[in-house]
């Protein structure tokens, strides 16, 4: 019996499960079955100084430059892997040098204009990203494939333009922001 003005207090209960939920996987450790959830890695960097505002314009410029340069670092990694695989199949040193010269000529023909259009800042980023992707500095790569004299020559040219072919990528130090941006680019969030 309901009286006017009263609300029916008997309502049907809905399912209490949230629309998004995670299924826990169980892992056995020391004879005990425990629930486990895989979570993404987290990078923690130091708190910035409160004395100045966040340099949003510099951050946006860094994102722009990384979007432009990162595909070339991936190309370097892929081409270097292919060249190394091919070099394994060439036993003669003379043929190896001929193959390297031809590969270098092909790569220069394909990417020289794009690399020449890069700014000095983008060039510095590319050097760091090459180290990140190949686990070798640009100087080491030139030294391995072209020799000590050529590596020293290109290092001298780089120093004239204010950069260093021996620059190493430090994902937990000075390059932590770059690493975070790259993770966002790789996941498709930027």
Q: What is the pLDDT of residues 107-141, one digit of tens each?
A: 888 888 888 898 989 989 998 998 998 888 888 88
Structural domain contains residue 42? no
Express each pLDDT in 172-183 by its tens digit. Answer: 888 888 988 898
Number of independent structural domains in the chain: 1
Q: Which residue has the higher pLDDT, 98 or 52?
A: 98
Angular region, 9: left φ>0, alpha ψ -120 to 50, beta rest:
alpha
Residue 65: domain span: 56-187
Residue 190 has pLDDT above 90, yes or no: no
pLDDT of residue 2: 52
Structural domain contains residue 5? no
Structural domain contains residue 49? no
Put simply, whether the predicted model's pTM sits higher than 0.85 gets the answer no
Structural domain contains residue 34? no
Structural domain contains residue 160? yes
Structural domain contains residue 67? yes
Structural domain contains residue 47? no
Phi, psi of 34 (to 5 degrees): -120, 145
Structural domain contains residue 151? yes
């Amino acid at each position: 019996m309901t009286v006017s003005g009263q609300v029916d207090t008997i309502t049907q209960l809905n399912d209490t499960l949230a629309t998004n939920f995670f299924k826990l996987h169980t892992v056995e450790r020391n004879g005990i079955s425990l629930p486990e959830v895989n979570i993404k890695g987290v990078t923690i960097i130091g708190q910035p100084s409160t004395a100045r505002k966040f340099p949003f314009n510099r951050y946006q410029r860094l994102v722009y430059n990384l979007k432009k340069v990162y595909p070339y670092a991936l190309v370097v990694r892929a081409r270097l892997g292919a060249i190394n695989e091919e070099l394994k199949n060439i036993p003669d040193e003379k043929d190896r040098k001929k193959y390297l010269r031809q590969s270098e000529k092909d790569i220069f023909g394909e990417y020289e204009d794009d690399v020449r259009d890069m700014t000095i800042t983008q060039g510095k980023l590319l050097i760091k990203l090459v180290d990140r992707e190949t686990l070798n500095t640009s100087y080491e790569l030139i030294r391995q494939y072209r020799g000590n004299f050529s590596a020293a020559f290109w290092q001298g040219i780089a120093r004239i333009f204010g950069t260093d072919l021996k620059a190493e990528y430090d994902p937990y130090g000075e390059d932590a922001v770059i690493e975070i941006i790259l993770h966002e680019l790789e996941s498709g969030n930027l």
